[in-house]
Amino acid sequence: MRMVDIITKKRDGLELAEEEIRWFVNAYSNGDVPDYQASAFAMAVYFQGMTQDEAAALTYAMAESGDQLDLSEIEGIKVDKHSTGGVGDKTTLILGPIVAALDIPVAKMSGRGLGHTGGTIDKLESFQGFQTEIEQDEFIRLVNENKLAVAGQSGNLTPADKKLYALRDVTATVNSIPLIASSVMSKKIAAGADAIVLDVKTGSGAFMAELEEAKDLARAMVEIGNSLNRKTMAVISNMDQPLGRFVGNALEVKEAIETLQGNGPQDLHELSLTLASHMAVLGGKASDEKEGRALVEKVMQDNAALEKMKQFVQSQGGDPAAVDHPSLLSTAEQQTDVLAADSGYIAAIHAAQIGKAAMMLGAGRATKDDIIDHAVGIELKAKIGDYVEKGEPLAVLHANQKDTKHIEEMILQAYSTSKEKVEKPELIFAAI
C-alpha cells in the first residue's frame, strides 16, 4: 500500500477500508510513514470526516498498537467511566466506591493532571502512602478482592494515539470528532473494560463548548464502543463552571468523602449519582437508570460506599483513617478570602481560569515534571446564580505561599456578575 493513495482517497471523500486504516496506523507507529503524510491524512479526516466503520477501525488499530490489559481473570462485567475533562471533577473518587459496593468490578487506569485539569492519581495520592504503580497481577487481585483498584497509566498504552495526538496538536487537527472519539475510545478499549460510561462535558470550560457538538462527539464514541462490543453510553453534562466547590487535590478528596456521606454539593452529588446509576445498568445490576439510582442511594445511605472507600484506600497502601477524619489529610498554612468587588448575581465562572489559578498555587503541573502540593487549592464560595454583596467572599485560596495577590486577581477575573437575576444552570443535558 502507498500512503499517498490513502490520503488521496480520504481527501476525495471516499471510504477507507479497514486494512488501509490498519496499515496507516502500523506504518506511522513504526516510522515508515513520515509526519508530513500523517498530517495530510489528519487534515483530510478533519475536512471529510469518517464513517462509523472507519472510526471503529482507527480506534481498534490504535488500541492494538501497544499493551492491552487482559482483565479476563476479573469476574463480572468490568465497567469503566471516562470524562472528557473538567475542573473540580472528582466524580471518579465517588463513583468508584459506590459501584464497587454494588459488587460491580471497577478496574480503573487513570492519569495525572496536566495544565488546568486535575488527575485522579494526584488526588488519590493525597492519602499518605497511597500507591498507584501496581503490577498487572496485583491490580487484578485487588479488583477481584475489593471490586475496585486504580492504577496509573501504563507506559505503553496506545502509542499510536500518543504519536498522532502530538502531531494533531501542532497541525490544527485536534478538533475533529472522529479523531477525538477514536483517540479517547482506543485508550478505553486498551484498558480492558467490558462497558464504558462516558461523561461528555459541554460549556465554556469544556473541549466541546457547544451542546450540539458535545452530542455529536458522544454519539460517535457510543457508536465506536458498541461496534467494538463494549456496552457504551454517554451523559452530556455542564462544564460552564467548576464542578462542586473545591479545586485542589486533598480539598477534592475531602469533598468526595462528604459526597459519599450524603453531604456533598448538589451538582457533584447529582452528577455522581447519575453516572453511578448508568454504571449499575451497564454492570448488569439494574434494568434501567431509575432502578440503578435506587441501588446507588441504598449503598450511600447504609454507608457501604464509604466503607468501600476505606477498604480501597487501605488496599493501595493509603491511610484509611483519613476517610473518617479528613483533617488527617494535608492542609494549607494560609487561607485568604477573595472578596467580591461588586454586588450582584454570579453570571459566569471561567473554569479553565480557576484551574489555572489552582495550578499556580501548586495544585497542578505546568510541565509534567513539576511536583504538586496536595494541600493547596481553591474553595468556591459562590457559584452561578448565587447573589453576593460587595465585600463578601467569592472564593477562598488555600495556599502555602505568602504572596497570592496575582492569583486573587485571576480569580476575580474568572468571575462575572450581573445585576439581573441569573438562573442556576442545568447540569445534565442528555443521555445517549
What is the sign, positive or negative, of the torsion defined by CA atoms of 204, 208, 213, 214?
Answer: negative
The closest residue (CB) to ligand URA is: 183
Rounded Cα distance, 112 and 273, in Å: 24
Using the minimum distance from each CB to ligand URA, give the nearer residue, 58 or 394: 58
Set 83, 182, 183, 186: catalytic member:
183
State yes or no: residue 429 binds ligand URA (CB under 6 A). no
Set 80, 122, 161, 199: catalytic member:
161
- Of 180, 279, 382, 414, the residue at the interface with ligand URA (CB under 6 A) is 180
Rounded Cα distance, 190 and 97, in Å: 23
H or E element that contains 375: none
H or E element that contains 191: none
* Contact stretch for ligand URA (CB under 6 A) within 92-100, 152-160, 180-188, 347-355: 180-188
Q: Is 82 a catalytic residue?
A: yes
| Minimum CB–partner distance for residue 89 and ligand URA (Å) | 14
Q: Is 183 a catalytic residue?
A: yes
| Minimum CB–partner distance for residue 431 and ligand URA (Å) | 21
| Minimum CB–partner distance for residue 166 and ligand URA (Å) | 11
Rounded Cα distance, 299 and 294, in Å: 9
- Of 29, 37, 91, 183, the residue at the interface with ligand URA (CB under 6 A) is 183
Among candidates 309, 307, 277, 268, which has minimal Cα distance to 295? 277
Which residues lie across from 428 on neighbouring strands? 237
DSSP 40-72: HHHHHHHHH---HHHHHHHHHHHHTTSB----T
| Minimum CB–partner distance for residue 82 and ligand URA (Å) | 9
Give the rounded distance of the alpha carbon of 338 from its chain centre: 28
Q: What angle do CA 147, 99, 327 make, to 5 degrees?
A: 90
Q: Are 405 and 358 in contact (CB under 8 A)?
A: no
Using the minimum distance from each CB to ligand URA, give the nearer residue, 114 or 347: 114
* Contact stretch for ligand URA (CB under 6 A) within 98-106, 113-121, 174-182, 305-313: 174-182
* Contact stretch for ligand URA (CB under 6 A) within 176-184, 197-205, 337-345, 408-416: 176-184
Using the minimum distance from each CB to ligand URA, give the nearer residue, 111 or 265: 111
Q: Are 351 and 240 in contact (CB under 8 A)?
A: yes
| Minimum CB–partner distance for residue 308 and ligand URA (Å) | 28
Rounded Cα distance, 409 and 412, in Å: 5
| Minimum CB–partner distance for residue 197 and ligand URA (Å) | 16
| Minimum CB–partner distance for residue 216 and ligand URA (Å) | 14
Using the minimum distance from each CB to ligand URA, give the nearer residue, 5 or 210: 210
Q: Is 2 a catalytic residue?
A: no
DSSP 281-318: HHTTS-SSHHHHHHHHHHHHHTSHHHHHHHHHHHHTT-
Whats the size of the chain, residue-wise?
A: 432
Using the minimum distance from each CB to ligand URA, give the nearer residue, 55 or 380: 55
Set 123, 187, 188, 285: catalytic member:
187
Residues 144-173 within binding reach of ligand URA (CB under 6 A): 165
* Contact stretch for ligand URA (CB under 6 A) within 5-13, 177-185, 208-216, 341-349: 177-185
Set 81, 147, 163, 168: catalytic member:
168
Count of residues of this chain found to bind ligand URA when the rule CB under 6 A is applied: 6
Using the minimum distance from each CB to ligand URA, give the nearer residue, 206 or 313: 206
Q: What angle do CA 238, 113, 267 make, to 5 degrees?
A: 25
Among candidates 302, 233, 289, 279, which has minimal Cα distance to 106? 279
Set 22, 82, 188, 374: catalytic member:
82
Using the minimum distance from each CB to ligand URA, give the nearer residue, 161 or 379: 161
Q: Are 260 and 306 in contact (CB under 8 A)?
A: yes
| Minimum CB–partner distance for residue 397 and ligand URA (Å) | 29
Residues 6+ apart with CB under 8 A from 266: none
Using the minimum distance from each CB to ligand URA, give the nearer residue, 111 or 385: 111
Q: Are 296 and 276 in contact (CB under 8 A)?
A: yes
- In which residue are the cell numbers 486494512 written? 19
State yes or no: residue 184 binds ligand URA (CB under 6 A). yes
Give the interface with ligand URA as residue ranges (CB under 6 A): 165, 174, 179-180, 183-184
Active site residues: 82, 161, 168, 183, 187
